[in-house]
Structures are given as structure tokens and as C-alpha cells.
Structure 1
Amino acid sequence: MTGSAVRKLRASFASHTVLIVLSAIFVIPFLWLLGTSLKSLNEISLSNLTIIPRVFHWDNYARVFERIPYLRYTMNTLFVTVMSVIGQIISSSLVAYSLTKVEWKGRGIIFPIVVATMLLPFQVTMIPVYMIYQKLGLVGTYWPLIIPTFTGAPFYIFLLRQFFMTLPDTLIQAARIDGANEWKIFSRIVMPLCRPALAAVGIFTFLYTWSDFLGPLLYLNDNAKYTLTLGLQAFMAEHYTEWDLLMAASAMFTLPIIVMFFFAQKYFIEGITLTGIKG
């Protein structure tokens, strides 16, 4: 074996070792969550922490639905998440298309302003936006969680803009020559070509909305409208916490996120990769 081959083998071994260690760091807490969800409350209270339970209590998952209105919280979360995904895909793609493929005065000025708004954290605009929704009588409803997604998000606009810039302008010009208006070009030509980028935006939005806690905490004050994050926090804030049921509910809470990522992993990676081709 030559010296270069040995160096490549060592480098490969070192990189794989680092990846395995990092993977273990991220996987162990999840395994602990699953193990704890199958333990009894007495076993969880013991000082010796173990991942594998002594006795598997599968009934913890059934008891979750008795102690928590889990299905109602899931449907509430699913409604907000689906509406948010639809809103972000429609609004962000429209803005990104207008910034790349439609000529209009001031286009070069608007995009830096849109990107600059990412410097404003949510905590800065939280109180003024809350007061606006309160004046409109929307506090206590899902609208404050859904309406912002139909106005576009700067990060998703930037992401889609980078992808749209890779599409040839000759394709758009040929469609205009054939008599297609901007809406037909956008819906029938551009959108089908940018499925990977749209999938990345959809996944990002799904992950953020599904696990969002601060938004529902601000605007939802009715137990029947709670999302999963808010419902689980309310269950934990009771006079004592049933950690076995809380861990079982948390395990079910993370399941859609894992399923979503594994099924859409190809489109997610492809979308993120292609958006960085052209600046």
C-alpha cells in the first residue's frame, strides 16, 4: 500500500470516527427519551439512570390519550402547520419570482431591505405585533399564527431567489413570446422546476411550526385550541409531573418530524444544494 493510500485511509478513518461520535451525541438523548417513555414512574425516580427499562410499560402510550387530549392537540397543530406550509410556499415563491424574473423599478433596492429584516429578532417585534392582533380581535384564534406565513419570510424568499436565479431567462422569454402571462409562467413553468427548493421551504416551515412554542403561548388562551407544545407544557405545569406519560407524549411528538425528514431527505438536500449554485 502506497503512502498516499495510507494517508487517505487514515483521513477516512478519522472523519468516520468523528461522524460516529457526533451521531452518538445526538442519538443518545433520543434513545433516553424512548427508554424513559417505557419506564414506570418509580423506576424513573431511581438515581441510577439507564436507557433500557427493567420492565417495558407499553401502556404508557395508551395512558397518554387518557390523561391528555392528545388527538385534539395533534389536529390543532396539524391545522396550523399545514396552513403555514401552504402560506410560506405561495407567498415566498411569489416574492422570489418577482425579484428575479420580473423587471420592475426598485427591485434591486427591495431585496436588500427584505434580507435586512432577518436582523430583527422575533422578540423585537413581538409586542407591537401582539398589540395589532389584539386591536383586530384575533388574539385567542389561530389567525396570528397563520397570517404571517402568507406575507413571506425573508429567509425563504432568499432561499427561493437563489434557486430561481439558476433558471435560464431564455425559458421565461420564450414563454412570454408564446403569449403566456406572468401567472402562467410562474405556475406552469417555474413552480414545477423548483420542486426541490419548495420542498426545502416546506420542510423548514413544517419543523418550525410543529415545534413552535412561543407563538401559541402568546396568542392561544383556550385549552381546546392548544397545540402540542403548549398542551404538553400545560400538562407538565400541573401539581406534579408524570414523567413517564410526558416522555411517551414527547416521543410521539417527535415522530412526525423524523418521518418527514426521512421521506423528504432527498428533496431537502437537493434544494439546499441547488440554492447555493448561483449568487
Structure 2
Amino acid sequence: MAAVGHPQAPDRPRRGRTPRGRAALRYTALVLMLLVMTGPFLWQLSTSLKGATEDIYTSPPQLLPQHPTFANYRDVAEIIPVWDFILNSVKVALTNVAANVVGAALAGYALSRLRFRGRAAAGTLFVLALLVPTEATMLAQFATMRTLELNNTLVAVVLPGCIGAMNVLLMRNAFDSIPYEIEEAAIVDGANVWQRFSRIALPAVKGTLAVVAIFSFMGAWDDFLWPLIVLSDSEHFTLTVGLNFLHGTFSDNQRVVAAGTIIAVAPLIVMFACLQRFFFRGVGEGAVKG
């Protein structure tokens, strides 16, 4: 005998946001995040372009300057030797980029492809190095630089960050994503380790190399505490340390301070604009192994 079933209730439309409502919510969240992230920079840029007759503390605040002027940037160059500081920062940043790109690529390839005793322990040490705050090692670094008689030199500024643990792990992950069969074919053709590294592996991770270069440049350019500790002669000051004079002696002129901030940030923006194509490609390298 067939079972008698209850009549099935008609499907009710699900309550919730419409696709248009969800899209509006996402765009609203993105706009808010954009304002939060770019708002301080836009405000500093606006302040740096305002003349001495404009009130920067008006309520409500005015973002657009009424009479834009570059006089504040000229004042920065007159107050401090900004070009000398920029040159020192460029030396430190470019050296840091070169050391990290070369060193991290070599170390990452060794951890990814070479087989040697202690390989797993070496990888673990790089991970543990990320857990140690930089401030906790500065005393030992300063003592080391003093022992090597490198204090008050740009070499002392570069050495502690010449190879970052994060950069090594990024490169190892990128090399892991390369199918090993490609290198096996090169081994059959007689390629040695250096040839496999330079001709096969390295060209395949250009995006990650760009990420390492950008992070290294930003870290070296923005670093303030370590150069402040290890440098004592103003002729060796980097830009971030040199701009500190604007906050001390000329703290009442926020327009000049803002102009100095824009001078410090501008190279980072230019570099990221030039390498953003490689940067976004490099972020995805190593996410899925081939």
C-alpha cells in the first residue's frame, strides 16, 4: 500500500540582499578602506601645497589648497641638506635591494631544490627568525658593528638587513612552484646546478623577485630607528633621520614638515608604479604548485 505523503509546500523566495545590494555594499566598503588608507597621504600632500596665509586647522578642514605653492619644498631644501640625505638613502636602499635579491634567490633555491644535511633545520631557522622582533636584536647588532669598527657608516646601516628571512621564504615558495620535471630534463641534458638556477629557475620567478625588490627598498628607505642608533655624523644621515630635524627645530611649521614627508614618500610611489605589473604577478607565484 502506497504511503500517503503530505503535500509539499511551495518554495518561498529566500530573503536576503539582492545582487545589486551586495555590490553596493562591497563598493562602499572599498571606498571606506580607500579613504582610510589614502586619507593621511592626501592630507599631507594638501598641507605641503598650502601657503603661509592659509589656515591648515580650519573646521571643517579644506583638502584643496586655495593658492597652491611649492615654497614649502624649497624651504625643506634650505633648512636641511635634503639632497645629501636622499643620496645616502638611495645608496642604502639600492644596496639592500641588490643584496636581498641575490642572497634570497640563492638561499631560496638551495632550500627548495638542493638536498643537504640540515636543510629542514635551516628552513625552520628562517621561520623562527620572523618571530624575533627587530628591536630585540638591535643591541647585539650595535655591539657587532662597534666590534667591526663600522659604526657611523652606511655599511653598518645596510648589513643587518642585507638578507631578510621573509624574502628567503618567499623565494623558496616560488621555486617550489616550478615543476621539478623541467629541471630533470635539464639534468639529462647535462646542466649543472648553476645553469639550472640561472637559466631555468630564476627566469620563472621574476614576479617574486620584483616583490622582494619592492619590500627591500621600502624597508631600507623607511627605516628610521636603526640608522638613528648607528649613525652619529649628520653627513651620513639617511633621509628619514635627516627629516627629523624638521620636527625638532621647525615643529611649528607643519607645512614644511608635510613637504618633507612627501619628499620621503615620493620615491616609493614611483618605484611601485614602475614595478606594479611584476608585483601583482609575483604575489600569485607559488600559490599553486605545478
Name the SS of the counterpart of 2:287 in structure 1. coil
State whether residues 100 and 216 of structure 2, in contact with CA within 8 Å, keep that contact through their aligned partners in structure 1: yes
- Partner residue of 1:13? 24
Residues 217-232 of structure 1 mapped to structure 2, 5 A cutoff:
217-232=228-243
- The alignment-based identity, stated in percent, is 30
Whether 2:267 is the aligned partner of 1:250: answer no
Q: CA deviation at 1:180?
A: 2.2
What RMSD over aligned residues (CA atoms) do the two structures have, in Å?
Answer: 2.2
Deviations 1:120-142 (A, max 9, x none): 11111110111011011001001
State whether residues 85 and 202 of structure 1, in contact with CA within 8 Å, keep that contact through their aligned partners in structure 2: yes
- Partner residue of 2:168? 157
1:196 pairs with 207, 212, 234, which one? 207
Q: CA deviation at 1:42?
A: 5.3
Give 1 or 2 for the bigger CA radius of gyration.
2
Q: CA deviation at 1:157?
A: 1.1
Whether 2:253 is the aligned partner of 1:272: answer no
User: For 1:55 and 1:107, how far apart are their aligned partners in 2?
Assistant: 62
Letter matched to residue 247 of structure 2: M
User: For 1:234 and 1:181, how far apart are their aligned partners in 2?
Assistant: 54
Whether 2:96 is the aligned partner of 1:96: answer no
Q: State the TM-score, normalizing by the size of structure 2.
A: 0.88
Query: Which fold has the larger relative contact order, with Cα–Cα distance below 8 Å and residues 6 or more apart in sequence?
Result: 1
Q: CA deviation at 1:41?
A: 4.0
State whether residues 108 and 172 of structure 2, in contact with CA within 8 Å, keep that contact through their aligned partners in structure 1: yes
The 3 A distance-change label for structure 1 pair 134 and 42 is farther
Comparing 34-43 with 222-231, greater Cα deviation is found at: 34-43
Whether 2:178 is the aligned partner of 1:167: answer yes
Letter matched to residue 171 of structure 1: I
Whether 2:150 is the aligned partner of 1:138: answer yes
Deviations 1:134-163 (A, max 9, x none): 01100100112222344x321111111111
Tell me how many residue pairs correspond in the alignment.
277
Name the SS of the counterpart of 2:123 in structure 1. helix
- Partner residue of 1:121? 133
Q: State the TM-score, normalizing by the size of structure 1.
A: 0.91
Deviations 1:71-115 (A, max 9, x none): 111111011000000000111111110111111122122211221
Comparing 41-50 with 231-240, greater Cα deviation is found at: 41-50
User: For 1:247 and 1:148, how far apart are their aligned partners in 2?
Assistant: 30
Q: CA deviation at 1:34?
A: 1.2
State whether residues 41 and 242 of structure 1, in contact with CA within 8 Å, keep that contact through their aligned partners in structure 2: no
State whether residues 235 and 241 of structure 1, in contact with CA within 8 Å, keep that contact through their aligned partners in structure 2: no
Name the SS of the counterpart of 1:162 in structure 2. helix
- Partner residue of 1:105? 117
2:273 pairs with 242, 254, 262, which one? 262
- Partner residue of 1:86? 98
Deviations 1:162-181 (A, max 9, x none): 11111111222222232222
1:24 pairs with 25, 35, 38, which one? 35
Name the SS of the counterpart of 2:243 in structure 1. helix
Letter matched to residue 96 of structure 2: S
Whether 2:58 is the aligned partner of 1:58: answer no
Comparing 40-49 with 243-252, greater Cα deviation is found at: 40-49
Deviations 1:157-210 (A, max 9, x none): 111111111111122222223222212221222111110010011111111111
State whether residues 101 and 213 of structure 2, in contact with CA within 8 Å, keep that contact through their aligned partners in structure 1: yes
User: For 1:183 and 1:63, how far apart are their aligned partners in 2?
Assistant: 52
List gaps (5 residues or longer) in structure 2.
Answer: 1-12
Letter matched to residue 89 of structure 2: T
Letter matched to residue 73 of structure 1: F
Q: CA deviation at 1:278?
A: 4.0
Comparing 44-53 with 181-190, greater Cα deviation is found at: 44-53
The 3 A distance-change label for structure 1 pair 8 and 176 is same
User: For 1:190 and 1:179, how far apart are their aligned partners in 2?
Assistant: 16
User: For 2:207 and 2:250, how far apart are their aligned partners in 1?
Assistant: 47
Q: CA deviation at 1:275?
A: 2.8
Deviations 1:240-278 (A, max 9, x none): 543222211211221111122222222112211223224
List gaps (5 residues or longer) in structure 1.
Answer: none
